[in-house]
Amino acid sequence: MDYMTLKEAAEKWGVTPRSANYYCAGGRISGAVNMAGVWLIPKDAEKPTDRRRKEFQHE
C-alpha cells in the first residue's frame, strides 16, 4: 500500500497539516498509521467530513 505524509494529505484535501493531524489522531482516517511519530496516510484515503458543518437536505 502506498502512503502519503500529513503535508501531502493536507495539500490534497485543501486543509492545514494540523487539521490532517487531528483527523489521524482522532482515528477518522482508516488505515492511517503512526510510525516513529510520523503519520502515514493511505494515498487512496478520503478526506473526513467536517463535523462542525451540518449538511442540510432540501425537500
Q: What is the mean pLDDT of the chain?
A: 89
Let me know if residue 7 belongs to a domain. Answer: yes
The count of domains in the chain is 1
So what's the pLDDT on residue 57?
Answer: 58
- Determine the average pLDDT of the residues in 41-48: 94
Residue 19 counted as domain residue: yes
Asked if residue 58 belongs to a domain, the reply is no
Given a cut of 70, whether residue 11 has pLDDT beyond it is yes
Structural domain span for residue 31? 3-42
Indicate whether 52 belongs to any domain.
Answer: no
Cα–Cα dist 58/38, whole Å: 41
- Report how far residue 59's alpha carbon sits from residue 48's, in angstroms, rounded to the nearest whole number: 25
Is 20 domain-assigned? yes
**Is residue 49 in some structural domain?**
no
**Do residues 45 and 32 lie in contact, with contact meaning Cβ atoms separated by under 8 Å?**
yes
Cβ burial of 20 (10 Å; 0-12, 13-18, 19+) is: buried
Q: Is 55 within the bounds of a domain? A: no
Question: What is the value of pTM for the model shown?
Answer: 0.77
